[in-house]
Amino acid sequence: MQYRVIGEPMPVVECQLQSGEGMITQRGSMVWMSPNMQMSTGAGGLGKAFGRMFSGETIFQNTYTAQGGPGMIAFASCVPGSIRAVEISPDRPVVIQKSAFLASEQGVELSVFFQKKASAGFFAGEGFIMQKLSGRGIAFVEIDGHAVEYDLAPGQSIVVDTGNLAMCDVTCSIDVQTVKGVKNVLFGGEGLFNTIVTGPGKVVLQTMPITSLAAALGPFVSSGS
């Protein structure tokens, strides 16, 4: 499979497949394809299906396979930002935010990922219920806004505002801390909690979570329209 990402900040990934190769996607992210791409829909097992639903995805997966020769298929991001290609292998699974999965090769498996600390889930926004990409192959992940990467050493931490954590290695741990000071909480405009990501591992942050984009556009959207 060959691919190219074009069109940022409204990106699309165009995939060139050999005959018999297939791509998996969770929702209606396919935007165009060659006529010989055959679509099939399935759940992939009851346990996996409900796990995907619990992690913010749909129960069913769409598989597009090139039939009778090479094929082409393209998948588009649903918000302004970027599409990141991630190489998944058995020794390097990756954890991503809910609804960040765009598409992947058939060897990649999407499942629910639970943080070890329950507090991270109740207060860190994306912390408790995230998605895990495992198996082998290339996966395409949606990033809201621009992606910024950090390589954290063992024990090194970074403080992240809620929703800005896009992706990290499974070797990282996620926790939350309360913003200190009553005035800071009430008037600082940063919320009550911050997310703490601790290494070792790579962390990918996003500059404009979809929730922040919606909040910024809210005052300009007429409620009567």
- Give me the residue spans of the domains in the chain: 2-217
CA-based angle 1:130:6, to the nearest 5? 35
Q: Could you give the residue ranges of the DSSP H alpha helices within the chain?
A: 46-54, 118-123, 182-187, 210-217
Residue-wise DSSP of 182-197: HHHHHHSSS-SEEEEE
Strands (E) located in 11-164: 12-17, 22-25, 30-33, 37-42, 61-66, 71-76, 81-88, 94-96, 101-105, 108-114, 129-135, 137-144, 147-152, 157-161
Cα separation of 123 and 118, whole Å?
Answer: 9
Residue-wise pLDDT tens digits, 186-204: 444 455 677 889 999 999 9
Cα separation of 182 and 198, whole Å?
Answer: 26
Residue-wise pLDDT tens digits, 133-148: 999 999 999 999 999 9
Residue-wise pLDDT tens digits, 78-135: 889 999 999 999 999 999 988 789 999 999 998 888 765 555 555 544 445 688 999 9
Cα separation of 153 and 82, whole Å?
Answer: 26
Whether 184 has a pLDDT exceeding 50, the answer reads no
> What backbone torsions phi and psi does residue 186 show, to the nearest 5 degrees?
-75, -35
Query: Mean per-residue pLDDT for 60-66?
Result: 92
Whole-structure pTM value:
0.82
Share of the chain above pLDDT 90, in %: 55
* CATH class assigned to 2-217: alpha beta
